[in-house]
Amino acid sequence: MLPETSHRYKVGVRLPDWLSGYAYRLFEGLVDFQRTGVSIELHFDQPSGGDLPHDPIDKSWKGDGLLVYRYSKEEARAWKKAGIKVINLSTEYPGAAPEIPRVIVDNQAVGRAGFDHLQSLGLRDFAYVHESNRQYSKERMEAFEEQVVSNGLNFYRIDVPASSFPIKTRPKQVMKCLQALKDLPRPCGLLSKDDIAGVSAIRVMKSLGIKCPEQMAIIGVSNDVVFCHTTYPPLTSIPYPGRKIGYAAAELLYKLMEGEEVSDDYTLKVAPGTVVARESTRYVILPDPVVTAALEYIRTSPLQTNITVEELCRKAGVSREGLRQKFQATLGRSPKQELERVRCYQIVEILRNSTETLSELSEICGFSGPDHLCRFVKRLTGKTPGEIRRG
């Protein structure tokens, strides 16, 4: 329960123009919190084509609290001196350490989610499109690489330091960096640092004659509707949880304005949304066409179907031992292991993003009861469904 106050706090919100793709999601969260009855008044310098006066939020701004997406060291000092409480909504910060508490997406979870989705395609080679001068990209890449390597698979990195290029020449220089795609093994799964990098990569693939997703499957980050749907094939993406971040940031800022304290380097991480699968990761062509077809059948079958190895053999038209040998040679695991891995991945995604009871979930997933479901999840993940839901 939040403390009550008779004072109406003036809270400024500063977001860069290029954040428009998911700024509205952040505002949904801010408004959700405002509707809980707290005494705050939001101020935002909204572009209006000149109809409204310009009211910039800078080091001279006056008010009680600020929600900003990045800041300068000079601004941080000025706001602190003025007694203004501030929350940074970006992973990035000036200097060697954060000077302002942050509420951000969990970038490590983004990297893991990208790997899990790409691994479900049966791939053994993975690459990350990285921007070395961005901390958020570094965190996503490190988590992605850790998952790839720990599973005995192959990791590659493509460096695209986009923000260091001059605006006028940036598109050409980005495309030049992405020429490195031609040197990657095929098939390969790519996680790009964000949706824009994903769109750029798909365009370069076309120019190089690389088929997406058949030869290279790719995932972006943010789930920007415009970027994801105005490229072909449409881009699979990991959603930026803007609404949850907006709410959590507003709630934390309110507590700070009410007198609570946290350290300057305090960081609250919010889990990303479930991967939104589109054509850019629909399927890949593996060296063995039998395995390719079997994996496509596994991925497109309803969760409650509970496919057996025998059924998979009938669909593939090979013996049980023949299918085992093909899976082992192509994926490094048996058909049974792959069936269980994909099923567990789907169950974990439901656990993280729904409120169904275990009884309801066991029925959805084709288990005889919640005990059977719990044993299955525990055996494959080492965690109970409750532990997975709690993060």
Question: Are 208 and 182 in contact, with CB atoms under 8 Å apart?
Answer: yes
Percent of the chain with pLDDT over 90: 65
Distances in whole angstroms, Cα of residue 227 to Cα of each of 2, 123, 199, 262, 272: 38, 25, 7, 37, 18
Instruction: Tell me which residue of 153, 155, 193 sits closest to 177, measured CA to CA.
Output: 193
pLDDT (average), residues 150-172: 91
| 52-68 confidence digits (pLDDT tens) | 777 788 999 999 999 99
- Say what the pLDDT of residue 305 is: 77
Instruction: Tell me which residue of 210, 199, 213, 205 sits closest to 171, measured CA to CA.
Output: 199
CA–CA gap between residue 240 and residue 243 (Å, rounded): 9
Q: Please report where in the chains the tokens 């106050």 appear, as a residue.
A: 5
What DSSP line would sit under 143-163, residue for residue? HHHHHHHHTT-EEEEEE--GG
Mean per-residue pLDDT of the chain:
91
Residue 348 predicted with pLDDT over 90 = no
| 209-253 confidence digits (pLDDT tens) | 999 999 999 999 999 989 999 999 999 999 999 999 999 999 999
Q: For the chain, which domains are there?
A: 9-105+242-270 (3.40.50.2300), 107-240+275-281 (3.40.50.2300), 289-389 (1.10.10.60)
pLDDT (average), residues 258-282: 93
Q: Please report where in the chains the tokens 């890449």 appear, as a residue.
A: 141
Q: Tell me: cis bond preceding 241? Omega within 30 of 0 counts.
A: no
Which helix (H) or strand (E) segment is 243 a member of? helix 242-257
Tell if the pTM clears 0.85, that is, is over it.
no
Mark 187-210 as b/e (b = at least 16 C-beta within 10 Å): bbbbbbbbbbbbbbbbbbbeeeeb
